[in-house]
A and B are shown apart, each in its own frame.
Chain A
Amino acid sequence: MSILVIAEHDNSNLKPATLNTVAAASEISPLVHLLVAGNSCQSVTDECSAVEGVEKVLLADDVAYENQLAESIANLIKSVSSDYTHILAPATTFGKNILPRLSALLDVQQISEIIEIISEDTFKRPIYAGSCIATVKSNDSIKVITVRATAFDPVNTSGGSATVDSISAEGVSDLSSFVGEEIAKTDRPELTAASIVISGGRGMQSGDNFHLLETIADKLGAAVGASRAAVDAGFVPNDYQVGQTGKIVAPDLYIAVGISGAIQHLAGMKDSKVIVAINKDEDAPIFQVADYGLVADLFDALPELSEKL
């Protein structure tokens, strides 16, 4: 049983969700290979071959993979798929974009966002925004799986000594092409990788008021998130969104400010180790999952919190 994990990277650095995905793969089999498809991505390859538990790195270094567009990458993975019993990718926008396409090319029913491995063919995954957990058995000969990163502790970035095999570009497609990218520049940690997250909801009342959260985030080294209600109201961009339709986070400390606690938001953060809720409505459902609840007006509480940190 060999497992192929698709490495997520930006041609310079390996994205941390890959490490959680390798951890999931290692639970199924010790024969874990990483596929790096990119352009001039030697530094990523070096990182990958040092990752704990990785036996081999497949490197497809070609200008065609610079922006990792789904059509070409899915064809590439398909070309090496016959060597593997399982193909895994992180359930990030990267993995979610590519793996179902691969899955259909292989005529396989993908298993999305697994949170637990029961056996080589049986997995647990949340459904209905995490209201229920389904146990699903795959009867396909190749298992194509996306992995919810927060459900698996990452493997170490060192300790491995994988060999590197170069593979040639295969099935390069011209159906799509890259135009541009706007990646939010911030000194704060990435939402899904941060150990502290502070999020605002509709109670923040405006996008400007998010600076109250940012001040605290900077003192704590935290990432800033938001509920879908705050995104829908146009306070902040969608990449801030924590929840079923946004990002899934599980930091050591999650501070929910002015967030009522809709099921769809809870689905994205209820696995956090410690949850703090600040809300002026003492009946808000967020208090039912919070370890520490403070019933207060956030416009009083946040400045005080910031001052005392």
Chain B
Amino acid sequence: MKIVVPIKRVVDYNVKVRPLGDQSDVDLNNVKMSMNPFCEIAIEEAVRLKEAGTATEVIAVTVGKKDSQEQLRTALALGADRAILIECEELLEPLSIAKVLSKVIEEEDPKLVILGKQAIDGDNNQTGQMLAALLNFAQATFASKVIIEDDVAVVTREIDGGLQTIKIKLPAIVTTDLRLNEPRYASLPNIMKAKKKELDIRPIEDLEIDVSSRTELLSVELPPERQAGIKVESVEELLNKLKTEAKVIS
């Protein structure tokens, strides 16, 4: 069974992002970039399925600038067998990314596609579901447990208020939630080995897909700042303030 794992290069989750001076976009000059944390979980799940003998090959794919090779190399160091970069200078919207990925997936013909539930830059939470629609695949989003049984997957999903388990026909799309697994760190020997693995780079033009934008970013601003309040000395004083000043408890 072949597994394709689409990943994304994003601003590292420890970086506090700010708007550009002219508020036209976020300021991404000289910020640290990493693999999106939910994508790490997706790679880990695919690699575990390979280690368990369920999967035979894990292919990491991304759509982005040349620099995205770094994140694909990380995916290879974490255990992916080969990688594909669809090179594109512009930042694409989720719908366009899903269209590009659907073309790659049609060519690769995997049994399973695992990807992060959202990227921590745009926080859109769309690509997996869109990809499922374009391919007419079943989808299991926000997965916390994945079991493969021949031609179906039984997936437990994190939903508001609890857990839901569904059965999906393969091929299918699974998007990862936090508790699916704990991703490993790449070891030095594996990082060295990853340098020799196959990384195929293709210009996006070759796919002949319309990736024009449907939305316009008009501005990016900081959210209204919340002012720090006061420090209270005791539980007694806290309760007093909540009752008489804030009036939120009685």
Chain A residues packing against B (C-beta within 8 Å): 67, 69-71, 74, 92-94, 96-105, 107-113, 122, 126-140, 173-184, 190, 192, 196, 220, 228, 231-232, 237-239, 241, 244-245, 247, 252-253, 263-264, 270, 273-276, 282, 287-296, 301, 304-305, 308-309
Contacts and interface: CB of A to CB of B under 8 A. Distances in A.
Contacts of B140: 176
A135 B218 CA distance: 5
A228 to B, nearest CB: 7
Contacts of A183: 161-162
Contact of B163 (A71, A128, A173, A182): A182
**Top 10 nearest A-B pairs by Cβ distance?**
A291-B229, A100-B129, A175-B138, A109-B214, A104-B130, A104-B133, A100-B126, A183-B162, A253-B248, A179-B165
B54 to A, nearest CB: 19
Contacts of B118: 245
Contacts of B18: 131-132
Contact of B161 (A135, A190, A293): A190
Nearest to A110: B126
A111 B215 contact: yes
Contact of A94 (B131, B160, B163): B160
B231 A244 contact: no
Q: Interface of chain A, helix or strand or loop or mixed?
A: mixed
A104, A179, A244 pick with most chain B CB within 10 angstroms? A104
A259 B236 CA distance: 21
Nearest to B179: A238
B133 A105 contact: yes
Interface residues of B, number: 81
A145 B126 CA distance: 11
A98 B133 CA distance: 10
Given A94-B160, A263-B16, A304 B235 contact: yes
Nearest to A178: B166
Contacts of A179: 154, 165-167
Given A128-B17, A244-B123, A308-B236, A176 B166 contact: yes
28 contacts: A70-B139, A93-B142, A93-B159, A96-B125, A101-B139, A103-B129, A103-B133, A107-B95, A126-B223, A128-B121, A132-B220, A132-B223, A136-B218, A137-B218, A138-B214, A139-B216, A175-B136, A178-B165, A179-B165, A181-B164, A231-B178, A238-B178, A245-B38, A290-B228, A292-B238, A293-B231, A296-B235, A301-B235
A69 B166 contact: yes
Interface in B106-153: 118, 120-134, 136-142, 144
Q: Is the interface of B mostly helix, strand, loop or mixed?
A: mixed
Contacts of B241: 292
A202 to B, nearest CB: 15
B226 interface: yes
A104 to B, nearest CB: 4
Contacts of B164: 67, 178, 180-182
A181 B139 CA distance: 17
B93 interface: yes
A303 B122 CA distance: 41
B121 A127 contact: yes
Given A111-B215, A309-B239, A127 B132 contact: no
Given A129-B123, A239-B161, A253 B249 contact: yes
B232 A245 contact: no
B94 A100 contact: yes
Contacts of B16: 131, 263
